[in-house]
Structure 1
Amino acid sequence: MDSWVRFNAQSQAKERVIRAAQYACTLLGHTLQKGGSMAELHRTVSQLEAHMSMTRKLLRLGNSVEALEAAKRAIHLSDGVLRLCLTLSHLNRAMYFVCDNVLWAGKVGLVSKLDQHKWSQRSFRYYLFALILNLTRDVYELRLLIEHEGPYRPSKPPCSPSTTLSSRSTPATSARICRKLHLLMTVLYSNPPLLLDLLKNGCDLFIPLDRLGIYPTGSGFVGACGLVSSVLSILTVVHPWLKLKP
């Protein structure tokens, strides 16, 4: 099992590079279509994107095993919130990969009469649930770090006895918001792995929302979000210390 996980990790690195290229093609295709470029060029880019999608599906064969192994590790975490979020997230990822594998089998003809739309929607639902859980985990860790930095204790602003309540409250509220934002930025700046994970999951969230029709944004925006999140994922492979743990 350990050998398979190590082999799968190498495949995932290649998959992330191909993912970045795929979403770059998505963004380029949208740009070409919007710019009224030659139909043949747009068709070539679309075909290249489809080929990369199939290659990614091939590289993701067996990723459900790695996701289940990650869920087995996460279930032993001491923090209850992290244990719940990460375990359920990995289980949803495992189901997403299973659906993805079924889709691949259908596209290459191994499974006949497969309802690809139904399986695609099902896979994106699992993907969406996993991302929501990942973002919940990120927000929870961010809250813990902010509390660790020290709770905000607003100092009473100086004011004269003749100052009205409304005139005092507006500057005090603005100062409180500025201090909270400064604390938030300080915490994120001091924790690059958490910042990258938040950005990556935030970008990825728009992909299933668009594909499921919950919040349609268009292929151009989806391509840009997918490209950004893919580049951030590649950074965590090149620099492992940037990967959020556990």
Structure 2
Amino acid sequence: MTTVASQVILHPVVSQSLKFGSTTVGRDKTYRAVQYYARFLTWYLLNKGDKHNAARWNALKSHLATARKLLRLGKPVEHLQAALRASLASGPASEQILAIGKQLAYFGYLSYDAVVWANAVKFFVLPPETAQRVTKTSNRFWLAGILFSLVHGVLKLTRLTREAKMLQAGKSWGEKDVGEETQREARLNAVKAAQAAARTQFLIDILDVWIPATGAGITNINEGALGIFGFITSVLGMRAQWKAVTGKQ
């Protein structure tokens, strides 16, 4: 029995899961997945007329949303740092400007989000009209950040695709210099990895964009669809963080 328990408790997947859960990003993505699944399930149960169970899942969704806001209290400064690093980085000017815009928009979003959290936990109480205006402004900044990211993703994918074609064309010419060929293969692999990451981020952005757009009153997507969109992007984010932490797919 002890051997079986040891094999379960000390299994590599358990150890990797603990390592994943020990990171702030890992916990946040997990909470987010549950939050948006609860959002979908609340909508589904209400449509079925099951108000009792819908209330339970809605409470879970609300508490997780509040908890995640607390986890993000220091992140506005991270995005300011990211904006500064983007301004100092080399690369196409258009991509650089969009990257800076994205980070500044996320700074605004998370700054207003902190005010939303403080009001939610009654640290200070805003009038209902003010609270609604702050929430809408937060969603507008979030929407702006995603739109910057989408345009940046299109430009980056276009550039990477062009670079990949050039590298592959060079390979087809059959240069015999082994050193150059090795460097070309390494660069091509790096470009392909960057393409995969950019495609994943583009998919996340194209699904997530509807959440702040609806929160800002620009679109009117139902709660069920928003829950599914958020759940999918959360799982994609969890997958990326799992790979970063454990080095495995």
Q: TM-score range by the shorter chain?
A: 0.7 to 0.9
Question: Structure 1: which 5+ residue stretches go unaligned?
Answer: 1-8, 152-186, 242-246
Structure 1 residue aligned with 2:57: 45
Deviating above 6 A after TM superposition, structure 1's stretches of 4 or more consecutive aligned residues are 187-190
- Give RMSD over aligned pairs: 2.1
1:148-170 Cα deviation digits (max 9, x unpaired):
3449xxxxxxxxxxxxxxxxxxx
1:78-108 Cα deviation digits (max 9, x unpaired):
2212210111111111111110101111111
Residue 28 in 1 paired to residue 41 in 2? yes
Q: How big is the shift at 1:223? A: 0.4
Question: Structure 2: which 5+ residue stretches go unaligned?
Answer: 1-21, 167-190
Structure 2 residue aligned with 1:130: 145
Structure 1 residue aligned with 2:114: 101
Rounded Cα–Cα distance in structure 1 between residues aligned with 2:94 and 2:66: 36
Residue 147 in 1 paired to residue 151 in 2? no
CA contact (8 A) 1:89 1:129 kept: yes
CA contact (8 A) 1:24 1:227 kept: yes
What's the TM-score, normalizing by structure 1? Answer: 0.75
| Structure 1 residue corresponding to 2:75, chosen from 63, 67, 78 | 63
Q: How big is the shift at 1:235? A: 1.3
Q: How big is the shift at 1:30? A: 1.1
| Identity of matched residues, % | 26
Number of paired residues?
197
Rounded Cα–Cα distance in structure 2 between residues aligned with 1:26 and 1:92: 25
- 1:160-239 to 2 correspondences below 5 Å: 191-239=195-243
Rounded Cα–Cα distance in structure 2 between residues aligned with 1:99 and 1:233: 23
Letter in 1 for 2:124: V
Rounded Cα–Cα distance in structure 2 between residues aligned with 1:190 and 1:129: 23
| Structure 1 residue corresponding to 2:134, chosen from 109, 119, 135 | 119
| Structure 2 residue corresponding to 1:11, chosen from 24, 33, 41 | 24
What's the TM-score, normalizing by structure 2? Answer: 0.74
Richer in helix (by share): 2
CA contact (8 A) 2:164 2:192 kept: no
